Structure 1
């Protein structure tokens, strides 16, 4: 098998695919047109002096330019760093610095997001490698860097000479929770992306004539990107939402007889709430969901009764989304659990007992470890984190707790450690704590997740600086500062000032009692 069989370009199968390949906001894009856009984007990037090994940060909502940039970068041997559109200045600066991005392709504006204002809060000295901005939808935006208009599709350009790109080198960087300030960058190659896309297409038995996808998750995350690449590989039309809203999603699901969609439990809950039809989606085959909110089992039962078959699944940036999914032949209670059956026949899942360190037998909970063709290359510029995440025999330590069923499937139970699931994203407390500690008047901080009115939110505790002369810092001022620096889902619902954190002395040192902090948070909220 030739290396090009594992390239992203190999996923564009014009001879077997249905047209259009994509539909963006009602605008169809055929396979041939998409291939042309990729060629034009590669030529445009080459004209911007982007070549092998260069990093292009992409800060866009779901649009054809996003996918074209990824495929074009692959042709040139360049790397795309995916920027979450919900990121704010601190997170954007961290990503640009760690990735060493040379160019950033950015939205001019989208709804309430002021990209220019966010970039204005990023000091140029923080990101010395960034040379230029390319703006989609406008000529320029106010910023510290020179900016040009992304006009790759406006006029034909001479094709760029494809680099002799190695399908095993990094081509896409996702962000994931880090243990220190800012996310880690998860590196994937063309081989890991293309191989997994083909595995998903085969496992779901996708047919260009029978199936269609509603892509309602952002391309900047593995959930949205993996599903789109898999259905492209199968030659199945992908209907794309630029950003999720329940009403447009409901309309597309009905009008275009969508058979597959993937999202969070909250997304499907909102869609169902907008229709009174007893069976609104008779064409639905598999709607895969990740459970982030309480009451997801009840949601799945209600959806089932109305003809929306929900399937539990599992994935991460490191092993890619849709790593596994439930099967239609599973009992309903098993099918909706997180985990399921690996998409790739070459994937292996095992569970390690966290107490003994030995591999666990069927039914015993422990840390999930995965070996699969979809596994990431490593964390960019972070050898220590990569070494810690991979076992000696090549399994990824997921940090998730689960158990094997014994029939080839597994169950995801919960996240190990203190990481928080906020707004559908995994967030390290340290990221928010570092931002709080940078605020005037704050000596130290701790952040925990709580269930607040059925939603996962975080609550912060801060210790004021001793040299304060004007009283302790106020929640309103701290909250306002964090809203400028962080995505909204990371901003604490409450910020409490305390004199000290509850701690426990142990043989390994003093440990903060995070469970006690969570209890304190709930007690104070209840008292309010």
Structure 2
């Protein structure tokens, strides 16, 4: 376990080396039938760093990870950290326009992908990316678990296999620096293009250590399960915390409820976090098995309004769920409810800040005055886990950070006694789909690019299958809206979870007069969408 003292590591590289020194033969990652010890992870990351260095990767360079959860992802991440490079997370559900935007704007020199993961045609998706977005990609690293690997080609870029990279001579230098950038996550707002959240070594490292202590991961029998993706802070922060604690993580390339239940029961998992949808699916398939028998508590994210009773149902299965709070700019697992609280308290998002050095306050968005306990306003939070900046976007950074260093979260919340807080709702209209925040404008732009659509409003609606996007459209003059055709149009450019499950033609959107002009009543549209999704058929 990493020491919590003056010798605490300040970089991601130091975090791994401290864990490897403390528990060299302990499994760090268990993936399928393979197990990788902390000592082996350290050694492999050094070889991968040597391979990346031979490809010309230097401090500050960006490496785009379009890759599911695998030991190779973790190994390459630590290799990038050692070289002072920045890992850019790309969701494997993203398609051509999204991948092109992130790879292009980040200026990534290397793109890592698994071209035949789950039968998805990643080379075909890549072929549809605007060539200008890939012009700075010099190398494509191909990972695969099959003998017949599809060909991957990017104009002007060389292709290197992961196996070749992993066999390279070790690089034992260390270019990581505490205040240097190491991670870029994407986040959504009110504009189409996502912002790039840049985190530094010290913030990532200190947060991992503090989560490990706060969540009692130091216990000898700790075994973590991770079905959340590395490409988001939720999965990433859990993975780093377990690594900081020197404890094993059971890794799934992508979540499957049946596999999760089987792994948890077989290995005696004691710690995991998940969305309410994931927990609901595990409960549905567990049968008489007892996968949660050793789990003292599990953090959950309340993404689906249709699963308001998930904490109660989990309790009936012997699983104690605790509400959480986090965001890309401050990382996940920033706050957590007390596992000893009753069900009513544990199901509320928010809680106590994990870091003793973090602070929270609430501000009236209208008057700008700070508010007291029980008064609702915008949450502002500062702490060791917060981002360095929005990468290449100083205007957005200035807008998001107060003069005294607090992050304006855009979340509505209120203070509770003893320094805790409650998250109430997003203040804006950002959608949460498939466990990710998505700007409505991004989906609206794709829907409206169809020739039969004059105008569109997209809302998120809770359903038995999770939160889904629903589009209300005003048809173009003389046109008839074809739902299936528009959905197919969107699917060519958007991840599947962003494609609206319903395209609903309307004559006009509900609106209301305000001091600032006429505004679309998105709440009414949301209610309409949920009513439509509840109808049979």
Q: Quote how far apart the aligned CAs of 1:473 are.
A: 4.2
Matched, 1:481 2:489: yes
> What is aligned with 1:217?
228
- The 3 A distance-change label for structure 1 pair 435 and 145 is farther
Shift of the alpha carbon at 1:41?
Answer: 0.9
Distance in 2, Cα, partners of 1:3 & 1:181: 43
**Unaligned ranges ≥5, structure 2:** none
From 401, 407, 413, the counterpart of 1:396: 407
| SS of 2:326 mapped into structure 1 | strand
Aligned residues: 525
**Correspondence 1:136 to 2:143:** yes
Superposition pairs of residues 95-244 of structure 1, within 5 angstroms? 95-137=102-144, 138=149, 140-144=151-155, 146-151=157-162, 156-160=167-171, 162=173, 164-207=175-218, 209-244=220-255
SS of residue paired to 2:419: coil
Summarize the Cα distance change of 1:32–1:363 in structure 2 as closer, same or farther, 3 Å threshold: same
Counterpart for residue 363 of structure 2 = 352
What is the deviation of 1:130? 2.1
What is the match of residue 71 of structure 1? Answer: 78
Contact 2:105 2:133 in 1 (8 A): no
- Mapping for residues 101-500 of structure 1, pairs under 5 Å: 101-137=108-144, 138=149, 140-144=151-155, 146-151=157-162, 156-160=167-171, 162=173, 164-207=175-218, 209-277=220-288, 280-294=291-305, 296-453=307-464, 455-466=466-477, 471-500=479-508
Distance 1:2 1:47, change over 3 A: farther
Structure 2 residue matching 1:21: 3-state secondary structure: strand
Q: Does the alignment pair 1:59 with 2:66?
A: yes
Equivalent residue, structure 2, for 1:501: 509
Query: Structure 1 stretch 374-383 or stretch 439-448: which is displaced more?
Result: 439-448
Query: Structure 1 residue 507: deviation in Å?
Result: 4.1
Runs of 5+ consecutive residues of structure 1 not aligned to the other structure: none
Q: Deviations over 1:366-398 (max 9, x none)?
A: 211110100011211222221111111111111
1:159 Cα deviation from its structure 2 partner: 3.0
Measured at CA, do residues 506 and 280 of structure 1 come closer, stay the same or move farther in structure 2, by a change above 3 Å? closer
More moved, 61-70 vs 9-18: 9-18
Which deviates more from structure 2 when the two are superposed, residues 412-421 or residues 10-19?
Answer: 10-19
> 2:13–2:176: 8 Å Cα contact kept in structure 1?
no
**3-state DSSP class of the match of 1:369?**
strand
Shift of 1:30: 0.7
In structure 1, the partner of 2:14 is 10
In the aligned structure 2, how far is the partner of 1:77 from the partner of 1:454?
41
Distance 2:295 2:158 in 1: 44
- Matches of 1:332 and 1:459 in 2, distance apart? 32
1:423 CA drift (Å): 1.7
Aligned-residue CA RMSD (Å): 2.3
Larger displacement relative to structure 2 (12-21 or 156-165)? 156-165
The normalised TM-score by structure 1 is: 0.93
8 Å CA contact 1:135–1:148 kept in 2: the answer is yes
Distance 1:214 1:348 in 2: 30
String of CA shifts for 1:438-475, please: whole Å, max 9, x gaps: 23343332211223446322221233445x6xx33422
Partner of 2:88: 81
